[in-house]
Structure 1
Amino acid sequence: MADIVRQGRLQHPPFRLRSGQQLLAALAAVSALMFAAPGAALASNAAGKTAKTSGSVHKEKTRAKGPAANARSTARAGAAGRPSSAKEAKEARSAKSRKAGTAVVAAAATSATAARTTRKPAPAGAIQEASNAEARLIAVYEMFGRGQTRPALAKARDLVRDYPNFQLAQLVYGDLLAAQLPPSNSLPDTASIAKMRGNPAMAELHEESKRRLQALRDRPPANTVPSQFLALSTRSRYAIAVDASRSRLYLFENSDKGLKLTADYYISVGKAGTDKVTEGDARTPLGVYYITSSLDPKSLKDFYGAGALPINYPNPYDVRRGKTGGGIWLHGTPPQQFARAPLASDGCVVMANPDLRQLLRKVQIGATPVVTARSLQWISQPQAEKESQSITSAINGWKDARASGNEAQLKKFYLPDFQRSSKKSNEGISVVDDEVKYAQGKRVQLKDMSYLHWKDGDDTMVVTFGEVFEGEKSGRSRRQYWLRQGTDWKLFHEEILG
């Protein structure tokens, strides 16, 4: 949470205080609950600022009763979801004597407000931020940041009513209820603060809040795409990119005008992080993959929620490097859980069920690419076209050598351990012989080209295309895996798709 405070701390109090009232030092509460010394230092600095009152100046305190109130309110909200109207009315009356914000709401409101005011606006319609539930949660943060505490409480109440299993929303609602309570005569002691710091569930919720707000604040630059998407055929109507460092899945719509970011969602990845190597290491794989099927939720345990989308891990590049394991899915959450902590799966990418349902309506089996990256790098369309020139040249050279029947030249494009998988067996026939006989010197048109670039020490390219020979109406569809060696691209694997 220290990062949230650094990037977007309040320059003015979120609301004015009446005479005799106290403002909980929101940033000081962050120092008690955000589990990091840098946050405490920032909170102390912020507490030195003054808040104007009617006829007087009130200095913020550097200690607050936030931890105790937060623990009580979280338990109450989590158990009941929505309090009785009489009880809430009583709490509302107590707000006349005191307005305050506990740690999660105050810090998040600070960051959300700053993000909205400091980030460069994206072109109209270019970005659909988050899902409905997340957008509503962010609206709660923003209302609180503007001092609209009662509307924020009402919106939070409606949110937990509609999504009673949304644990972070329950915590925020509990914090807002605590903000209405009369002040306690006692302040948290060191033991209480230490206990809150050591609560894994609380730490995970704070980290979830941080990741959601980071994604709001650090938006992809306008008119850019992830660096892996150099070119994508319009046969792939959608594309998916996962940024593990931001706990975010980005969904792109593809057309003849190129890729357009249409939505993004909070996600969870492996307990041990990313870069899967072996079976059972609880890591999410990094690389370029494709959706291979869509599993009916009726055939799955409740644990997987609204459904599951397996990807082709390990792909040929993973196999080449000796990586093992399998069963990597994009899937939902159990009915009682809206979202999981940022690092919580056994290697899968986990989404809230409402978000996954949106994805299920859009993906195409075998045609929707899924990039999973530790941190996405974004490039412009002209840069993507420039970076695709070398592989385009290699593909054309391969095509020309095959058409000319020049086996010696064609052989230069293959690594010695090249492998092919297809529906038809070609055992006993060398790939060069097979290609020359297949082409028979005919001119061929390559169409629906897709270039997906992956670089993590080695430089690889996943190329998908269809080919039609002169005088024919249809032909093969291929997916090729290329590896750069020096300045040359070499084929190490090919799949005949149909």
Structure 2
Amino acid sequence: MSVELTARRRRAAAVALMIVSLLHAVIAHAQSDNKPRPKPARAGTSASAKPPASPPPLRDGDAEERLLAVYKLIGVGQNREALRQAEALARDYPNFQLAQLVVGDLLSARLRPIRRMGDAPEADTLRSMQAAATLDELRNESRQRVDAQRIRPPANTIPAQFLELSPRSRHAIAFDASRSRLYLFENAPTGLRLVADYYASVGRLGIDKSLEGDQRTPLGVYFITSRLDPTSLKDFYGAGALPINYPNPLDISRGKTGSGIWLHGTPPEQFARAPLATDGCLVLANPDLERLLRTVEPRTTPVVIARQLNWVAPHSVQTDRNAFDAVLGAWSKAKTDGDMKRLLSFYAPDFQSHRKKPLDDWANVLQAEARALRGRDLHLKDKSYLRWTDSADTMVVTFGEVAAGARTGPVKRQYWIRRDQNWQIFFEGVIG
């Protein structure tokens, strides 16, 4: 916590120094403009004066959309209109540092050529290494935003991890670290549909978290566990927070440590963080996070965090989905038949349960569950298959287990790993 706050103060101080240098351009611009300016009216002299209107609520994605529109105007040489729109953007989002930066550049461009973004006078800006580092961060943020819009996911494609998603999961989230981009999907009757995407920041030292305090963001398949009320949080977390279940069973099996990985917002004085800026959380601008807070559901919303997302046509995962569906069906049939030898063949020797039961102890649980079926068929409902492939090929499986004639049953989650072309369960637990 103290590390994050200290870094935030350093960044704010560096930006302040940088903007002071850019103000030289603003002052020079004002001094070179000899047009007469109207004098401000004295208080009480205008009977028609009205109180200023309340600003409209901030909409998710709006600031970035307007920033990119300014960039396009600059690209075609319409600097005057670009400056007008940039100034309006900076007024509506006064804590959006990229907007302030582009205003400064456009004003400077009236007096001298601009070589690159944040091209403040060298003698002023580079006297502070912190200011120089902050400029680099802002340039990287700008580049990530532009690249994510320039290289869009192909139409009607999905991340390859989503083999099947239950109707109980009304939404899904995928994050591409290479693009600093979070994608929000709606799980419609026709399949996953991309409804929004946002810039987001990760850990200072990047991704692939393995240890407590390593300032990295984890990679894998996770689930939102709760929705934290912003009134219960420090303003550092902005509009609120959505914790995820790091470390998950795969992480634990690999000896990974740490906790407290959230999707959260930014403090009031900061619109966005640098691409690499957190202690491991995913951080979004507050208007974007507010959209997630209003939309996603704890416990049923999966969050895939990938080094780089592989976008595929939905029908292309059908073969893998059907193949794994047959494996899960065979597991269910062995349990229905009470065939313990066959049933246990689906479990890995290093199996663990929620209660840390090894396979020998879990066999007693399975036998009791099979005995309770009394020969009734076992139906698996609302199935979700989320595939994660790195050094191993794993599947995160969620389903409702309902015996024939029963109206309800437990909701279970299993983690499978493929070894020697065979799928085996290395974790199983009841989640609802």
1:75 aligns with 2:20: yes
Give the drift of 1:192.
8.4
Given residue 20 of structure 2, which amino acid in structure 1 is its aligned partner? A
Given residue 215 of structure 1, which amino acid in structure 2 is its aligned partner? A
1:257 aligns with 2:190: yes
Q: Which of 459, 481, 487 in structure 1 is aligned with 2:421?
A: 487
Aligned residue in 2 for 1:215: 148
Change in CA separation of 1:358 and 1:77 when aligned onto 2, cut-off 3 Å:
farther
Give the drift of 1:75.
2.5
Given residue 424 of structure 2, which amino acid in structure 1 is its aligned partner? K
Q: Which of 278, 281, 285 in structure 1 is aligned with 2:214?
A: 281
Aligned residue in 2 for 1:113: none
Aligned residue in 2 for 1:181: 111
Give the drift of 1:145.
1.5
Q: d(CA) in 2 for partners of 1:216 and 1:262?
A: 14
Q: Secondary structure at the match of 2:274?
A: coil
Contact 1:73 1:175 in 2 (8 A): no
Contact 1:91 1:177 in 2 (8 A): no
TM-score, structure 1 length as denominator?
Answer: 0.72
Q: How does 1:24-423 map to 2 (within 5 A)?
A: 74-75=19-20, 91=33, 131-181=61-111, 199-421=132-354
Q: d(CA) in 1 for partners of 2:294 and 2:23?
A: 32
Contact 1:153 1:176 in 2 (8 A): yes
Contact 1:73 1:174 in 2 (8 A): no
Q: Secondary structure at the match of 1:181?
A: coil
Give the drift of 1:381.
0.9
Contact 2:217 2:281 in 1 (8 A): yes
Aligned residue in 1 for 2:390: 456
Given residue 66 of structure 2, which amino acid in structure 1 is its aligned partner? R
Give the drift of 1:439.
2.6
Q: d(CA) in 1 for partners of 2:200 and 2:332?
A: 41
Q: Secondary structure at the match of 1:242?
A: strand
Change in CA separation of 1:169 and 1:79 when aligned onto 2, cut-off 3 Å:
farther
Aligned residue in 1 for 2:368: 434
Structure 1 unpaired stretches of 5+: 1-70, 94-128
Change in CA separation of 1:363 and 1:428 when aligned onto 2, cut-off 3 Å:
closer
Q: d(CA) in 1 for partners of 2:121 and 2:203?
A: 35
Q: Percent of pairs identical after alignment?
A: 54
Given residue 211 of structure 1, which amino acid in structure 2 is its aligned partner? Q
Contact 2:60 2:291 in 1 (8 A): no
Q: Secondary structure at the match of 2:168?
A: coil
1:497 aligns with 2:427: no
Q: Secondary structure at the match of 2:153?
A: coil
TM-score, structure 2 length as denominator?
Answer: 0.83
Deviations 1:8-28 (A, max 9, x none): xxxxxxxxxxxxxxxxxxxxx
Change in CA separation of 1:193 and 1:305 when aligned onto 2, cut-off 3 Å:
closer
Contact 2:230 2:238 in 1 (8 A): yes
Q: d(CA) in 1 for partners of 2:112 and 2:17?
A: 14
Q: d(CA) in 1 for partners of 2:138 and 2:394?
A: 37
Contact 1:314 1:325 in 2 (8 A): yes
235-244 vs 188-197, which moves further: 188-197
Give the root-mean-square deviation of aligned CA atoms. 3.1
Q: d(CA) in 2 for partners of 1:72 and 1:355?
A: 28
Contact 1:73 1:178 in 2 (8 A): no
Q: d(CA) in 2 for partners of 1:250 and 1:188?
A: 34
Given residue 156 of structure 1, which amino acid in structure 2 is its aligned partner? A
Deviations 1:464-493 (A, max 9, x none): 111222111111111111011111110111
Give the drift of 1:356.
0.3
Q: d(CA) in 2 for partners of 1:449 and 1:413?
A: 18
Given residue 455 of structure 1, which amino acid in structure 2 is its aligned partner? T
Contact 1:465 1:478 in 2 (8 A): yes
Change in CA separation of 1:389 and 1:282 when aligned onto 2, cut-off 3 Å:
same
Q: d(CA) in 2 for partners of 1:78 and 1:330?
A: 35
Contact 2:18 2:125 in 1 (8 A): no
Q: d(CA) in 1 for partners of 2:283 and 2:63?
A: 16
Contact 2:385 2:397 in 1 (8 A): yes
244-253 vs 409-418, which moves further: 409-418
Q: d(CA) in 2 for partners of 1:455 and 1:251?
A: 21
Q: d(CA) in 2 for partners of 1:421 and 1:259?
A: 30
Contact 2:217 2:280 in 1 (8 A): yes
Q: d(CA) in 2 for partners of 1:428 and 1:189?
A: 69
Give the drift of 1:193.
9.6
Q: Secondary structure at the match of 1:361?
A: helix
Q: d(CA) in 2 for partners of 1:76 and 1:289?
A: 44
- Equivalenced residue count is 387
Q: d(CA) in 2 for partners of 1:78 and 1:359?
A: 36
Contact 2:224 2:297 in 1 (8 A): yes
Change in CA separation of 1:188 and 1:253 when aligned onto 2, cut-off 3 Å:
closer
263-272 vs 431-440, which moves further: 431-440
Q: Secondary structure at the match of 2:366?
A: helix
Deviations 1:245-271 (A, max 9, x none): 111001011111000111100000000
Change in CA separation of 1:461 and 1:492 when aligned onto 2, cut-off 3 Å:
same
Change in CA separation of 1:200 and 1:87 when aligned onto 2, cut-off 3 Å:
closer
Q: d(CA) in 2 for partners of 1:313 and 1:92?
A: 60
Change in CA separation of 1:379 and 1:366 when aligned onto 2, cut-off 3 Å:
same
Give the drift of 1:132.
0.5
Q: Secondary structure at the match of 2:332?
A: helix
Q: d(CA) in 2 for partners of 1:391 and 1:78?
A: 61
